[in-house]
Amino acid sequence: MVIAEDLAKQQRSISVAEFFEKNKHLLGFDSPTRGIITTVKEAVDNALDACEEAEVLPDIFVAIRKTNSDVYRITVEDNGPGIVPKNVPYVFGKLLYGSRFHQIRQSRGQQGIGISAAVLYAQLTTGVPALVISRTGADVRAHRFELMIKTETNEPDILVDEEIDWDRTHGTRIEIEFKSTLAAKKKLLEYLRYTAVVNPHARITADIDGEITVFERVSSEVPPCPKAILPHPHGIEFGALKRIAATNSDTLDEFLVNCFSRVGRKTADEILGLAQIKPRRKAKTLDSDELKRLLEAMQQVKIPAPPAQQCLSPISEDLIRKGLEKEVQLDFIKARTRPSAVFSGHSFIIEAAIGYGGKLPAEGSAQILRFANRVPLLYQQGACAITNCISQVNWKSYGLSQQGLPVGPALIMVHVASTNVPFTSESKDAIASIPEIEREIILVLQELGRELKAYINRRDRNKLQDDRARAICSIIPEIARKVSDIVELPLVDTSPIEGKIMRKLVAKKRTCDGKVSIDVHNYTARELVFTLYNLSRDSASDAVPKPDFVDDFDGEYNKVWKCRLEPGTVWQVTYSGTGDGSIDLRGVEDNVKVVVDLDV
């Protein structure tokens, strides 16, 4: 029998680098092919975060180059503020090191793991150290490092640290090499394209094995960098409260006001009254039971939500719409930014957009674009709360078919912006199922669904109205003719009736005894300027009035009249001919015009 002493000999502590070396798929390094995308993503996220903090318009260069048989060098260079030399080894050579983990504000990187994981992956698979160049200003020289990670201790291993000349005045460049393939090139470009969509102020230049693609910025305004806020009393947990209180020498009323967001003197008094603790006690003197009472009181008192507009940076409806329209041709697009909401004390804002028609494929599931803190999510769509919410909405009631996901020529974009995005794993591929977040996503999708439904209805109604109008225009004159035959009275003019029904610009073509006549009635209440096209085998050389010009193709004549028509008046042309072919009105909106061919 093995006994406790034998087992004890095998027990030891595991460094976080060892842990992630063994579990590298948790960080998005499932395969070398995906490794390229993960590396680029982590470096670009860092670059965008740093530029935002320094209020610089980002100019990011990404290169993937084959160096030999199957080794690729991945380079990402930015014009950010640079990293001070003494910190470079830690930022790139130590997992769980960074500036954003302890701050309560929206940022792309949060964990201080991503880029060091790429360094770890390179040294594990290829043994090549990472090359980092960084310069923090025109008055200092750049530093060039070659770095690895000591896996057993998770500490940086500095192989080279030298000063060099660099033409950038500030910025950072990282080069990482490992065996890989370019099989995911399309996905990489997709990542860069959608990164540009949600970061309209960034220019990204990609050189993928010699092929250059530039994603140009569409806005020259640096979005304001979200400001870190204090924890919210409703979101804090016992352990965290105990920690903050333990080292705080303020009196409790000051402590509450100074260490929490949205707590003023009045709220502090209310909390302390409810907890039955004297306001003049010092925070660090509270025992566990008193802290529990304090926490309970903090969570019971009504306190406004955290100041989301300060710590979050939503994209805005306008920029989402512009960004998407730039990338996809659509007939309909609506974007919505929801008011901020809170889960476990973390602020978040949901933004979403729905696009319809245009060049979207008519068959198959709708296209889904997922984003978190302005970063596109490319993997694990099926495991993501966003996808889950999209399936839960009843799209049939909004005019789309549905098989789990909505089906048809639609695009659904959802952006979750939060001070703490709850990802399902460190690789940040999918958002965990948090009821408060799911509720907001469903609400915004329902809002947009109603807009889509209104659009589809309007489109269908326009079509129906046109069909009806066509029917009326052909039948009413027919009835009038029959009636006049029967009652043996002259034919009455039915135009006013048609006009009353339709309130549109109506073009009617009829042919009788070798004479073609086209009438255009303006039944609307305003003057209309339009162009009438008539394409047929008739040359209409005797037309009155003469066409403004005629195109002659292969025995067909396209006759064009430019017209201006007061409300309630009619314009007419007649010519000799067979009356075949078609007529068309241009220059007025689709829902204002009706074309009726009485010869057909």
106 is in an annotated binding site: no
Q: Pick the closer one to a copy of itself by CB: 420 or 465.
A: 420
Please compute Rg for the chain using Cα positions: 34
Class of residue 306 by CB neighbours under 10 A (exposed 0-12, middle 13-18, buried 19+): buried
Q: Tell the smallest beta-carbon distance from residue 32 to a copy of itself (Å).
A: 11
399: its two tokens: 């005019």
Contact (Cβ atoms closer than 8 angstroms) between residue 106 and residue 227: no
Which residues, numbered 105-164, are part of the site for a copy of itself (CB under 8 A)? 111-112, 120, 123-127, 136-137, 151-152
Is residue 48 involved in binding a copy of itself (CB under 8 A)? no
Q: Which one of 382, 486, 487, 589 is in contact with a copy of itself (CB under 8 A)?
A: 382
116 is in an annotated binding site: yes
114 is in an annotated binding site: yes
# residues contacting a copy of itself (CB under 8 A): 79
508 is in an annotated binding site: no
Q: Tell the smallest beta-carbon distance from residue 56 to a copy of itself (Å).
A: 8
Class of residue 345 by CB neighbours under 10 A (exposed 0-12, middle 13-18, buried 19+): buried
Which residues, numbered 173-232, are part of the site for a copy of itself (CB under 8 A)? 225
Q: Tell the smallest beta-carbon distance from residue 368 to a copy of itself (Å).
A: 16
Contact (Cβ atoms closer than 8 angstroms) between residue 528 and residue 522: yes
99 is in an annotated binding site: yes
Which residues, numbered 394-423, are part of the site for a copy of itself (CB under 8 A)? 420, 422-423
- The C-alpha atoms of residue 469 and residue 570 are separated, in whole angstroms, by 17
CA dihedral 539, 542, 546, 552 (to 10 degrees): 10
Class of residue 118 by CB neighbours under 10 A (exposed 0-12, middle 13-18, buried 19+): buried
Contact (Cβ atoms closer than 8 angstroms) between residue 442 and residue 389: yes
Q: Which one of 33, 65, 66, 103 is in contact with a copy of itself (CB under 8 A)?
A: 103
**What x/- string results for residues 54 through 73 when contact with a copy of itself is judged by CB under 8 A?**
xxx-----------------
Tell me the window of 46-54, 467-475, 497-505, 532-540 that interacts with a copy of itself (CB under 8 A).
Answer: 46-54
Q: Pick the closer one to a copy of itself by CB: 299 or 531.
A: 299
Q: Pick the closer one to a copy of itself by CB: 334 or 428.
A: 428
70: its two tokens: 């199957």
Q: Pick the closer one to a copy of itself by CB: 101 or 549.
A: 101
Q: Which one of 209, 237, 460, 542 is in contact with a copy of itself (CB under 8 A)?
A: 237
Q: Pick the closer one to a copy of itself by CB: 425 or 474.
A: 425
Q: Pick the closer one to a copy of itself by CB: 154 or 534.
A: 154
Is residue 101 involved in binding a copy of itself (CB under 8 A)? yes
Contact (Cβ atoms closer than 8 angstroms) between residue 270 and residue 334: no
306: its two tokens: 């955290």
Is residue 169 involved in binding a copy of itself (CB under 8 A)? no
Alpha helices, DSSP H, located in 345-490: 385-392, 435-487
Q: What are phi and psi of 445, to 5 degrees?
A: -70, -35
Q: Is 146 left (phi over 0), alpha (psi -120 to 50) or beta?
A: beta
Which residues, numbered 238-277, are part of the site for a copy of itself (CB under 8 A)? 238-240, 242-243
- The C-alpha atoms of residue 534 and residue 460 are separated, in whole angstroms, by 27
